[in-house]
Amino acid sequence: MTSSYSPESAHLEAILLVGGQGTRLRPLTLSTPKPLLPTAGVPFLAHQLARARSSGVRRIVFATSYRASMFAEAFGDGSAFGLSLEYMTEETPLGTGGAIRNAAQALTCGPDAPVLVLNGDILSGHDISEQVGMHVTRRAAITLHLTEVDDPSRFGCVPTDEEGRVTAFLEKTPNPVTNRINAGCYVFQRSVIDRIPEGQVISVERETFPGMITAGELVLGYADRSYWLDVGTPAAFVQGSCDLVLGRLPSPALPGPCGEFLTMPGAEVSPSAKIEGGSVVGPRAVVESDASVHGSVLDADCVIESGAVVVDSVVGAQARVASGAVLRNAVIGDGAVVGSGNELLAGARVWPGVRLPPNAVRFSSDV
């Protein structure tokens, strides 16, 4: 039986893991860390911060590494979110466990307090306060959020017994024993974090969790089938942004009402343009007459010229898609130009500043 945690009396703290380089999302992450990419009109992390605040978190320590200074520039002291934010940086990447241990130096809670650990590339609709409540009620060492998926063979799976105790961490297999997988949100007892070796490269998934299970410590699974998405690939990033705009996952950080599209301040959209599928038209972006944009993210100051087609794609800041060009599942880097007649499909990526002359490409995965 679970209960909701009472943050008012306990001052719940969290660690937010945002140190990755986001290599699967290049070229979008060449200049911007993945957690800061504009998602449904605001930096991705704004949605996580708002949800954490609504779930009772009051203080968050960022575990940063790649382009660390950009996080403080984006969120400052956290007062805009009703939060207190601290920033801890790894000089060299330490893995998930090492990052958690490094960030814990900035925690203020005692050894018996629960600490929420969030991954900076996950969108989730699960009940955080209920997960923390289970952890506190059962006096667990760690409580993991487990999401139930239709095809667990694509992931490692996490079986539990009838009382919710995690019994193993299993690698990918064609015949998984459960449809529950690690969803990347954890509640640690502070004393457990303090036992992670300091200054060493440690993986909680490969070392800490399996080691604690083997040692007989109480590792619990909080399982549900709520909305969950890892936004680590371009397709997933676009899907997450669109789902937020369409209202499939509520977010207190959404800068406008849910609907077929979201238009940011200064954007110009022709009355004859067709925009749908949860698309975002970024600040000062321009969508000209008879252009078609479906399920896509258009960043600040980009231009989609008359008659261009953009589907399930990302168009970077100050990029231009010329008349007659077609993008489907493509990523266009900042400042790039896609000339008329080009057709970029199925994972095509154009690096920042590249200029494709008219009719140069029918398909490319890397330009």
Is 363 a domain residue? no
The pLDDT of residue 346 is 83
Is 138 a domain residue? yes
My answer on whether 271 and 347 are in the same domain is: yes
Domain holding 82: CATH number? 3.90.550.10
Please compute Rg for the chain using Cα positions: 22
My answer on whether 120 and 224 are in the same domain is: yes
Is 19 a domain residue? yes
Last residue of a domain, one of 186, 212, 230: 230
51-73 pLDDT per residue, tens: 998 888 999 999 887 777 888 88
Strand order across the beta sheet in which 219-224 lies: 84-89, 59-64, 13-17, 114-119, 180-189, 142-148, 219-224
Is 128 a domain residue? yes
327-353 pLDDT per residue, tens: 999 999 999 999 999 999 888 899 999
The pLDDT of residue 45 is 92
Cβ atoms of residues 241 and 40 within 8 Å: yes
Supply the range of the domain harboring residue 270.
260-356
Distance CA 132, CA 116 (A): 8
Is 1 a domain residue? no
My answer on whether 178 and 279 are in the same domain is: no
Is 250 a domain residue? no
Is 364 a domain residue? no
Backbone φ/ψ region at 346: left (φ over 0), alpha (ψ -120 to 50), beta: left
Give the total number of structural domains in the chain. Answer: 2
Is 361 a domain residue? no
My answer on whether 204 and 287 are in the same domain is: no
My answer on whether 129 and 32 are in the same domain is: yes
Last residue of a domain, one of 230, 247, 273: 230
My answer on whether 298 and 346 are in the same domain is: yes
Length of the chain: 367
Please, which pLDDT band fits residue 363 given cuts at 50, 70 and 90? Answer: low
My answer on whether 66 and 187 are in the same domain is: yes
Cβ atoms of residues 153 and 51 within 8 Å: no
Per DSSP bridges, beta strands 261-263 and 279-281 are parallel
My answer on whether 203 and 266 are in the same domain is: no
My answer on whether 49 and 194 are in the same domain is: yes
Q: If we measure between CA atoms, which residue out of 37, 169, 20 comes closest to residue 99? A: 20
Residue 1 has pLDDT above 80, yes or no: no
My answer on whether 204 and 344 are in the same domain is: no
Side-chain half-sphere exposure of 224, counting CA atoms within 13 A: 14
Domain holding 348: CATH number? 2.160.10.10
- CB atoms closer than 10 angstroms to residue 89: 17
My answer on whether 158 and 223 are in the same domain is: yes
| Average pLDDT estimate for 5-27 | 73
Among the listed residues 23, 105, 154, 172, the single catalytic one is 172
Last residue of a domain, one of 208, 230, 252: 230
Distance CA 259, CA 254 (A): 11
172 included as an active-site residue: yes
Q: Which of 22-36, 133-147, 241-255 has the lowest mean pLDDT?
A: 22-36
My answer on whether 292 and 333 are in the same domain is: yes
Upstream peptide bond of 27 is cis (omega within 30 degrees of 0): yes
* Token code pair at residue 333: 């880097």
The pLDDT of residue 174 is 78
Distance CA 47, CA 250 (A): 9
Report which listed range, 8-17, 31-40, 222-231, 274-283, is most confident.
274-283
Distance CA 120, CA 48 (A): 8
